[in-house]
Amino acid sequence: MQSQDKFCPSCATTLHLREVFGTQRPTCPQCQRVIYYDPKVAATSLIERSGEILLIRRGNQPGYGLWSMPGGYVDRGEVVEQAAVREVWEETGLKVEVEQLIGLFSEQGHPVVVAAFATREVGGLLVAGDEALDVGFFPIDRLPEMAFPRDRLILDRWQALKNNT
């Protein structure tokens, strides 16, 4: 149970874990309300320039100091594609347009679902934003240490999509 979810949002009774549909879930013994945790959605962008991929060196956890594609959480009520564009701007100073969904990526036991997009650079000036220690373009066959296992999956899927067009 997450620490902030100690009491039922309907009747304020202390929640207890109970098996519901094969999973231990916080449940109210008074009103029987089951609490379902929603996943967090993030958007990331793959930007290619002259055969190289744009990466940011992460300035926060998870993956502090490691490299990843620019991205971040989608705000409530925000369109996912707009979040991808916003995150690129905030982290790199570049303006991009979404070209194609590469795919949705999730991992067992991890609460984040990542929507990865192929984007096209349309302006701006490359500079490390507040959440990036550094930014740069790298040859796809000589990438620095990546922050997340899904990064390689996103790159592989993107290359497969490129080869099919």
How many CB atoms neighbour CB 143 within 10 A?
15
Q: Where are the extended beta strands (E) located within 34-158?
A: 40-49, 52-58, 67-68, 71-73, 94-105, 112-124, 132-139
How many CB atoms neighbour CB 120 within 10 A?
14
Q: Global pTM?
A: 0.82
> From CA 33, how far away is CA 53, in angstroms rounded?
47
- If pLDDT is split at 50, 70 and 90, which confidence band does 38 have? confident
Q: Is there a contact between 83 and 92 (Cβ–Cβ < 8 Å)?
A: no
In one-letter notation, the amino acid at residue 30 is Q
Q: What is the pLDDT of residue 41?
A: 96
In one-letter notation, the amino acid at residue 113 is V
Q: What is the pLDDT of residue 4?
A: 57
pLDDT tens string 87-138 = 999 999 999 999 999 999 998 888 899 999 999 999 999 999 988 999 999 9
Q: Is there a contact between 53 and 47 (Cβ–Cβ < 8 Å)?
A: yes
Mean pLDDT of the chain: 92
Give the percent of the chain with pLDDT over 70: 97
Q: Is there a contact between 92 and 54 (Cβ–Cβ < 8 Å)?
A: yes
Domains of the chain: 1-37 (2.20.70), 40-163 (3.90.79.10)
- If pLDDT is split at 50, 70 and 90, which confidence band does 35 have? confident
- If pLDDT is split at 50, 70 and 90, which confidence band does 3 have? very low
Give the percent of the chain with pLDDT over 90: 74
